[in-house]
Amino acid sequence: MADYEDFDYNKPMSFSIWKKMFPFIMTEKKSLVYCMFLMLSVAVVDVIFPLLLGYAIRNNIQPQSLDGIQPLIAAIAFLVTVQAVNVYGFVSLGIKSETGICRRMRNAVFLNLQKLSLSYYNKTPVGYLMARTNSDTGRIGDLVAWGLIDFTWSAFYCIGAIIAMFLVHWKLALIVCATIPLLALLTWFFQSRILSVNRVMRKLNSKMTGAMNEGITGARTVKVLTAEDISFNEYSGITMEYRKQSTHMARLRSVFIPVSLFIGTLGTAAVLGYGGWEIIFLGADLAVLAVFLQYAGGFFWPIQNIARIFTDFVSTQANVERVADLLEKTPGIIDRKDVIEKYGDTFSPKKENWEPIIGDVQFRDVTFRYPDGHRNVLEHFNLHVPVGTYIAIVGETGAGKSTLVNLVCRFFEPTSGEILIDGKDYRERSQLWLHSAFGYVLQNPHLFSGTIRENIRYGRLDATNEEVEKAAAVVHADKIIEKLEKGFDTEAGEGGDRLSTGEKQLISFARAVLANPRIFILDEATSSIDTEMEMLLQNAIHTLLEGRTSFVIAHRLSTIRGADVILVVDDGKIIERGTHTELMNMRGSYHKLYTQQYETEERIEEALRS
């Protein structure tokens, strides 16, 4: 996670950073403005209450008279009602503003994540993205909505109270105001240190999120490797450090709050001392002293609020930067403006302009280097794949078999040269146009939460139940589905975790069949299916692929003997090509791979028979 927590946590307050959030904040500007007016009203009422107390002491309590008591009670009842309405209003609007800002930020982040290229997800941890999308946006929304509410009340209350005090008794007002710089200085001193600890805790929280995500999503692997203690120790180490920083934070607060209260109490004592002296020796009004005791005791929280909100805005800048970074990420593969204008983009396709795809694929003088690589994987590579050709790609694990497939799918683009689809450079068409023609079955397919029927229907959302079941029957997935408790209506679970890898592959294959693509990509799609089922599936594949261009990354070489062309990959380069018979006769790398695999399978079968 450390590679992704590369933001400067020690920056001062920066307006330019917060400007990046303005498009989301301004969508709730009406609610936020209403909140400010309501908080102004709350502050005015809070300033008036001590004055009413002074009025009651002067006109009713001291003279022990009920004269004017009814208007006083009516005024208090009115103000209490106004305050209740104010509280209801700002709480409702605050929640609306917070959830509205968070929703728009999360939608924008998620939308942009959908646009990013596959290469981004290959190098970015899921925990990092989850923390940024949920935690960071939540903190920003919370601070903008409730921070603005608290700041507005605190600022208006301080201003109103100071004005009221100077109007009532300027000498006592100076005594109360003398505590404000001390409170402000103390708050700044402690808040800056609390902020520093808070930043460390936020980084640790991101690490905890990542570690928790890895521990849960990789639970099976952890158990198989009996690595529970390693996983726990790693997580426990992070939580231990988090506890240490939390304890440090608690110590700072445990000192800050009583010291602040002490300063506030000193101010109250000073008001009480000087006010009492005036009452005793100068015959001053007791009501004035009561008013000032109320104001002096109430200054602690607004001053602390203002300082806390300021430091919160500084500390939340890291969250803003992380969210802004996700929003500003650009895909590694981007369609040209003229292409988007004609064919549309991912979320606004202009399908009426899409030419039908036949499936002729050609590599023309293609040189390719991965964006973060230092050497060419392909150099001046040429290959013509006519419509309906069955291309098999084989090689040792890690040899680079997926490179050609990634280029055909335009997950990456050639460093130089062209890849033509139906005789035209595929960069002159939209990515969505190209991807709509593919049926992609992965070695470790992903199923979505929902029923098996819904997962197959992702291949074509308007498909009928009959078409879904027919697609499953083509790849013999129906034989497995029928054995499940609810058949096609069985829940697949999160990521398909209620099914075996082989079952997920068959359902993924049925999903690709339902899409009726012109080009098939099979990435070792039968590697987790038992031999008997594989024979049935192979017959279905040959029927299905007839007339369609197909690229098959093969694990079991016995399954691709009928391929029109077999490409042998080693160290990311094509070292042999030809049919099964031609390559066996060459007695090169393919012959060696095939022979070794055949002998291994023979030994396994003999062991099983014995």
Residue 609 pLDDT grade (very low, low, confident, very high; cuts 50, 70, 90): low
User: Which residue's structure tokens are 């009501």?
Assistant: 287
Burial class (CB in 10 A: 0-12, 13-18, 19+), 48: middle
* Gap between the Cα atoms of 156 and 46, Å rounded: 10
Is the pTM higher than 0.85? The answer reads no
Percent share of the chain, pLDDT over 70? 90
Q: What is residue 220's predicted lDDT score, i.e. its pLDDT?
A: 64
CA distances for 177 relative to 174, 487, 517, angstroms: 5, 76, 76
pLDDT digits 0-9 by tens, 537-580? 666 666 667 778 989 888 778 778 888 999 998 876 788 999 99
Percent share of the chain, pLDDT over 90? 25
User: Amino acid identity of 235?
Assistant: Y
Taking 60 as the threshold, does the pLDDT of residue 599 lie above it? yes
Taking 80 as the threshold, does the pLDDT of residue 184 lie above it? no
Q: What is residue 566's predicted lDDT score, i.e. its pLDDT?
A: 92
* Gap between the Cα atoms of 322 and 199, Å rounded: 13
Give me the mean pLDDT over the 27-47 stretch.
93
pLDDT digits 0-9 by tens, 396-429? 876 777 888 889 989 888 999 999 999 999 999 9
Give me the mean pLDDT over the 461-466 stretch.
90
| 529: its two tokens | 């299916």
Q: What is residue 11's predicted lDDT score, i.e. its pLDDT?
A: 57
Q: What is residue 129's predicted lDDT score, i.e. its pLDDT?
A: 82
pLDDT digits 0-9 by tens, 491-521? 888 777 788 777 887 888 888 888 888 898 8
Taking 80 as the threshold, does the pLDDT of residue 431 lie above it? yes
Burial class (CB in 10 A: 0-12, 13-18, 19+), 369: middle
For 69, other C-beta atoms within 10 Å of its C-beta total 12
Summary mean pLDDT of the chain: 83
Give me the mean pLDDT over the 73-96 stretch.
94
Q: Can you tell me whether residue 409 is helix, strand or coil?
A: coil
Give me the mean pLDDT over the 327-346 stretch.
88
Taking 90 as the threshold, does the pLDDT of residue 119 lie above it? no
CA quadruple 433, 440, 132, 16: dihedral, nearest 10: -30
Write the CB contacts of 327 (distance below 8 Å, at least 6 apart in sequence): 20, 108, 109, 112
* Gap between the Cα atoms of 169 and 176, Å rounded: 11
| 153: its two tokens | 């009340």
* Gap between the Cα atoms of 72 and 218, Å rounded: 68
What angle is formed at CA 340 by the lines to CA 337 and CA 346, rounded to 5 degrees? 130
- Return the CA Rg of the chain: 35
* Gap between the Cα atoms of 290 and 303, Å rounded: 21
Residue 153 pLDDT grade (very low, low, confident, very high; cuts 50, 70, 90): very high
Most confident stretch, 127-141, 266-280, 362-376, 382-396: 382-396
Of residues 174 and 524, more confidence is placed in: 174
Q: What is residue 84's predicted lDDT score, i.e. its pLDDT?
A: 95
pLDDT digits 0-9 by tens, 261-298? 787 778 778 877 877 787 776 666 788 888 888 887 77
Q: What is residue 535's predicted lDDT score, i.e. its pLDDT?
A: 67
Q: What is the sign of the dihedral through the CA atoms of 264, 270, 275 and 280?
A: positive
Of residues 415 and 234, more confidence is placed in: 415
- Among 498, 520, 501, 499, which residue's Cα sits nearest to residue 511? 520
- Among 572, 118, 523, 575, which residue's Cα sits nearest to residue 369? 572
Q: What is the sign of the dihedral through the CA atoms of 455, 456, 461 and 464?
A: negative
- Looking at the chain, the number of H-run helices and the number of E-run strands are 24, 10
Helix (H) or strand (E) holding 34: helix 29-56
| 315: its two tokens | 């500390």
* Gap between the Cα atoms of 235 and 30, Å rounded: 44
Taking 60 as the threshold, does the pLDDT of residue 2 lie above it? no
Q: What is residue 485's predicted lDDT score, i.e. its pLDDT?
A: 83
Q: What is residue 339's predicted lDDT score, i.e. its pLDDT?
A: 92
Taking 60 as the threshold, does the pLDDT of residue 479 lie above it? yes
pLDDT digits 0-9 by tens, 3-25? 455 455 555 556 777 888 999 99
Residue 156 pLDDT grade (very low, low, confident, very high; cuts 50, 70, 90): very high
